[in-house]
Amino acid sequence: MTELLPNHFNGTWQTGTGQGTVLTDPVLGTELVRVDATGLDLAAGFAFAREQGGQALRALTYVQRAGLLAAAQKVLQANRDAYYDIATANSGTVKNDSAVDIDGGIFTLGTYAKLGEGLGERFFLADGDSARLGKDPLFQSQHVLTPTRGVALFINAFNFPSWGLWEKAAPALLSGVPVIVKPATATAWLTQRMVKDVVDAGIFPAGALSIVCGSSAGLMDQLQPFDVVSFTGSADTAAVIRSHPAVTQRSVRVNIEADSVNSAVLLPGEAAGSEAFDLFVKEVAREMTVKSGQKCTAIRRVLVPEELYAAAAQAISARLAKTTVGNPRNEAVRMGALVSRAQLVAVKDGLEYLKTQAEVLHDGSAAALVDADANIACCVGPTLLGVRNAAGSDSADRIHDTEVFGPVATLVPYRTTGGSMDHAFALVRRGQGSLVASLYGSNPQALAHAAAELADSHGRVHIISPDVAALQTGHGNVMPQSLHGGPGRAGGGEELGGLRALNFYHRRTAIQASTTVLAQLQ
């Protein structure tokens, strides 16, 4: 029988008492390890993290906690090779795609270690300047941010077992809030191994970092008023979390990142073959294939002026045709597998659903898999769909409402009467709120105007123009310095954004006192 991975909970390593769920290699179909949380004393584990871990973290200054993050980063760097092996086996990703997750997570952790160094030897943060409350300046109000005296529960998605952990845990631990992470079962191995390496190194106080692998049943029931919960996943599960008594009755703070039908928009006035056009084509193809399209920020709708529809379809298809799909252990392969059989079925079903309103422009499934058995491997080739005209863009409601979580995107033509982008803006907004939109063009004024128009319905607007072709960080790459999240159907949450991420783990309070007293605050 395969190894049963232990959970780190209530300050100790402990295995579940059930048979567990088997994690498999999505390319070879072989069994890897098992995870199980049956029998864990959830109440005791949450209490230990909240009381022991929280108290120990809050006793440290921000600079001291930043030092712990830096030490954890060194441990992770030392074990990178093992993480890559796990990602290849459990997520089916090629090396470059594994790097997005593994190195991205380590980089984010290091970024918050550096940010914490600048916060000083303090135990809370000032929020703005003090404000006079009357004519006499002696009595004033000062807003402060203090770490919440609770625990941070993270319920994470399967696509980023490393980055999804550290982009949440880094600002939480820097804030002085203990973490309990529940990774998605399908790819929990990498998260568990990273947590194990850091815990075994003895870096954080007991109870500061816990992990529960297996079922999430009962976790939300343990949350108390000063706890917080952050979830990444489907809108359906997000609705269940939002309706839980912990949120509706105990006012537990919740952050949600859910479905997102992200857009890439080529601005009018860019001819086929121009530098901006080529950058657009390259980025669309890249975003469709990185991690087999299993990114919450991946491009799902590809908007072009109606007159460029055919040229864009041909250019993007030509790039996708060069993408070899199969076993990530083969150096000739550029795109690996979906993470599980269930995801393969979901992507295929989603494709059939979209095909009722869109034509197939490039069918990646026509090419044979490299070094993989199509009857076993959870692989699917990149597929570009399209609607032939702008009228079709209006009527094909499914492409604006449905996120197929795989290497799938739809080419969407828009009208440019009089050079206006109003139709494009309207189509983008039909996504009802997204994590990111990217804009491509060479006219700075037009790009700035488009960004301002779309900012209200996106967490991030990424602009790629020829002058930053070699500098831009990518439509789908989430950088710790910038906000990650989005309004509406994207969940309404906010993560990262530099030190803004710390706000979720702090409570804002107005302290009203004499300036003499306020001067003593430390």
Q: Which residues are catalytic?
A: 257, 296
Question: CA-to-CA distance for 304 and 306, rounded, in angstroms?
Answer: 6
Q: What is the DSSP letter of 267?
A: P
Question: CA-to-CA distance for 238 and 249, rounded, in angstroms?
Answer: 17
Question: CA-to-CA distance for 450 and 441, rounded, in angstroms?
Answer: 10
Q: What is the DSSP letter of 27?
A: T
Residue-level length of the chain: 522
| CA 173 to chain CA centroid, nearest Å | 18
378 Cβ neighbours under 8 A, 6+ residues apart: 26, 27, 92, 337, 338, 339, 340, 341, 343, 344
Give the count of beta carbons closer than 10 Å to the beta carbon of residue 177.
29
Contact 227, 153 (CB under 8 A): yes
Q: What is the DSSP letter of 51?
A: I
Q: What is the DSSP letter of 273?
A: T
> Which CA distances in Å does 67 have to 71, 166, 256, 356?
6, 15, 29, 55
